Structure 1
Amino acid sequence: MKISARNSFKGIVKKVKVGAVSAEVSIEISAGINIISTITKSSAENLELEESKEAYVVIKASDVIVVID
């Protein structure tokens, strides 16, 4: 796989919650660090996402906001 996005993280699928139209996917990229993404139900099915499967998280955004409290 070659990709131009610089922010990609390899991880393990921890949970896939499929709804009528979309799926919420939780991927652990490091111990205790999960990234959650909402994708279409058909994309989750095409990728055959299931718990314990390896997957990549790719973040491509024109805006990233940093906040402190």
Structure 2
Amino acid sequence: MNVSARNCIKGTIMKITKGPVMAEIILDIGNGIQITSVITAHATESLGLKEGKEAYAVMKSSEVMIAVD
């Protein structure tokens, strides 16, 4: 994975709360620290996000996005 954002933090998806349009993703990055991101339900499906899967929190300005290898 190559991305221009400088802040990429790897973690494990702990919980996905999916609605009809948006989904809340909780990423555990270790030491009891969690990052929460809200992305579209479509993006959640397209990325194949599942609880227990490793993913990245990608932060750029005021956004936190989720990325996978």
Q: How many residues align?
A: 62
The answer for unaligned runs of 5 or more in structure 2 is 63-69
Deviation string, structure 1 residues 17-59 (Cα, Å, up to 9, x no partner): 0001100000011221000000000000111111110000000
CA RMSD of aligned residues (A): 1.0
Q: Which runs of 4+ in 1 moved over 3 A?
A: none
TM superposition score normalised by structure 1: 0.85
Specify every segment of 5 or more residues in structure 1 that has no aligned partner in the other structure, as ranges.
Answer: 63-69
More strand by share: 2
Alignment correspondent of 2:32: 32
Residue 61 of structure 2 is matched in structure 1 by 61
% of aligned pairs identical?
48
Give 1 or 2 for the bigger CA radius of gyration.
1
In structure 1, distance between residues paired with 2:57 and 2:48:
15
